Amino acid sequence: MTSERFSECLLHIRWTPINIASALQCELSWIESMEAGNEEIPNVLAVARNTGSSPRSASAANDLSRPESIGVTSETA
Query: What is the pTM assigned to this prediction?
Result: 0.60
User: Could you tell me how far CA 30 lies from the centroid of its own chain?
Assistant: 9
For the chain, the average pLDDT equals 74
Q: What is the pLDDT of residues 21-55, one digit of tens each?
A: 999 899 999 999 999 999 999 888 766 555 454 44
pLDDT at 71: 52
Do the beta carbons of residue 55 and residue 11 sit within 8 Å?
Answer: no
